[in-house]
Amino acid sequence: MMKVQVGDFILGPEEKEAINKVLDSGRISEGPNVKKFEDEWAKYIGTKYSVLFSSGTAAIMAGLTALKHLKNIKEGSKVITSPVTYIATANAIVKSNLQPVFVDIDKETFSILPEKIEEVLKNAKNPKEYSIILPVHLMGYPCDMEKINKIAEKYGLSTFEDSAQAHGSMYKGKKTGSLSLLSDFSFILRITFKRGKWGQ
């Protein structure tokens, strides 16, 4: 039996040299490596743009704020999302002055169920209270974006993918994160030390 440690990682000489080069430059943010990463990540995902933030949570909040301005979304508007995910998804919705509405998931793939999204919207007293569908590609399992996007279009909603746990996951020949108006990813690294202490 192989034991897998959550948070363990190995840095080779090439990675250490790259890290030290950035540290020695005296500039750890907004430098040339940031722009290079943004360009390469956008190319990898298949999008036109990529913008780095301090965390996946910050990326969700920035995306929701952008949608509020771009789509003229009112404060307190409802965002359909998954109840089974990291708490950051719901927190970002609430901190953006929006209201999360949780929809059930598939018990095999942990993905939000499109038919449940449609059920919520169909039975809503006022579907115009809803503005965004925020599906979560949990543990690398892609949601059924074709159906979700059709529902969003039908009800005039925006789709925003939470791809924080789906780096490189594929859906019908395309990478998650490229299947909606915008998406977020997370590159938070947790380091586990032998003494049991951990840092972020």
121: nearest Cα among 87, 83, 156, 69:
156
Whether residue 89 contacts residue 81, with contact meaning beta carbons closer than 8 Å, is answered with: yes
Over pLDDT 90: what percentage of the chain? 76
Cβ neighbours for 19, distance < 8 A, ≥ 6 positions apart: 11
Cβ neighbours for 83, distance < 8 A, ≥ 6 positions apart: 102, 103, 104, 105
How far is residue 36's CA from residue 46's CA, in Å, rounded to a whole number? 15
Q: What is the 3-state secondary structure (H, E, C) of 74-128?
A: CCCCEEEECCCCCCHHHHHHHHCCCEEEECCECCCCCCECHHHHHHHHHHCCCHH
What is the mean predicted confidence (pLDDT) over 148-156? 97
Please report which residue ranges of the chain form alpha helices under DSSP H: 13-25, 32-45, 56-70, 88-95, 114-123, 145-155
**What pLDDT is attached to residue 4?**
63
Structural domains in the chain, CATH included, are: 9-52 (no CATH), 56-191 (3.40.640.10)
pLDDT at 192 over 60: no
Whether residue 137 contacts residue 101, with contact meaning beta carbons closer than 8 Å, is answered with: no
Strand partners, 159: 133
Per-residue pLDDT tens over the stretch 49-86:
999 998 899 999 999 999 999 999 999 999 999 999 99
Question: Helix or strand or coil: residue 192?
Answer: strand
- pTM, entire model: 0.86
pLDDT at 158 over 60: yes
